[in-house]
A and B are shown apart, each in its own frame.
Chain A
Amino acid sequence: MSIWEYANPKKFITTFGPWVMPLMVVAGVLLVVGLGWGFFLTPEAQNFGSTVKIIYIHVPSAFVAINAWIMMLVTSLVWLIRRHHVSALAARAAAPVGLVMTVIALVTGAIWGQPMWGTWWAWEPRLTSFLILFLFYLGYIALWSAVPEPETAADLTSAVCIVGSVFAVLSRYAVLFWAQGLHQGASLSVDRAEHVADVYWLPLMVSMAGFVALFVALVLMRTITEIRARRITALMARAERAEAVA
């Protein structure tokens, strides 16, 4: 028994297919509890008034947006090293989810920044880094859809993902050097002093768990879809070849 057994597309579908719906339900329950708790039962914060409630959408989506890219980096490496198609397809499946999460983080942040900082947008390290992340997602997805040959597309996008990750980290530090911060400190960190207060922390944790469960469910479902789509193209190509011979 090794983890690589699940690289077989059939095995992947039969193993993880049944997980999708339960995971969706779990994600739904966690989101309803976490978001509901956060929306209805938490007090207003001293300086932010009720806008503090945006944290329950903003922080989890940003968290998922970054970690989706890390997941894509890992699966891209697995594809380049071990050439498991499922791995490449999982990276492809995760990209649009990461893109949407990036957009959510950016938009909720802008809406929050307007009354709080007095501006929709500031050229500020965290915001700029997220904008760059957004551009990387766009390029990655565009490249996937531009290359028709699946194996070539997987190789090229993996290379771009890896090179892009290095440059994303570089940009992060370049941007830190380039502009001063306006953004709040980390809402979540190992350092307890930096944390948000406990009243907000618990519902936030539940929301985060909900977002993560949703991400996993979506990526599994979309990976299975990609496997099936790949099979359709393969079958069509085979039928065409058979026709050409006959």
Chain B
Amino acid sequence: MPELGQYAGVVLSAWGVGLGLIVALVWASITRARRVKAELERIERGGS
């Protein structure tokens, strides 16, 4: 852990928000991709 000095809270909160949002975005994209893929496979297998 590097010495962040008096701005530790600032730096960490900015990184937290930034990385948190990126992780949320990636997670949302992946789960939706999986859900849609499974749904499509189900429909196509259903032969309707």
Contact = CB atoms under 8 A, between A and B. Distances in A.
Given A112-B14, A232-B43, A236-B43, A50 B7 contact: yes
B36 A54 contact: no
A50 B4 CA distance: 5
Given A57-B19, A214-B22, A229 B36 contact: yes
A104 B48 CA distance: 44
Interface residues on B, range: 20 to 34
Interface in A205-245: 214, 218, 221-222, 224-225, 228-229, 231-232, 235-236, 239, 242
Contacts of A96: 25
* 4 nearest A-B pairs in the assembled complex, by CB-CB distance: A57-B18, A50-B4, A111-B14, A108-B14
A39 B15 CA distance: 10
B11 A54 contact: yes
Contacts of B19: 57
Contact of A49 (B7, B17, B48): B7
A44 B43 contact: no
A231 B40 contact: yes
Judged by DSSP, the binding face of A is helix
B15 A54 contact: yes
A51 B11 contact: yes
B4 to A, nearest CB: 4
A115 B29 contact: no
26 contacts: A39-B2, A40-B2, A49-B5, A50-B2, A50-B5, A50-B8, A54-B14, A57-B14, A57-B18, A57-B19, A58-B14, A58-B18, A96-B25, A103-B21, A104-B22, A107-B14, A112-B10, A214-B22, A214-B26, A218-B26, A221-B33, A225-B32, A228-B40, A231-B40, A235-B40, A235-B48
Given A218-B26, A232-B39, A111 B33 contact: no
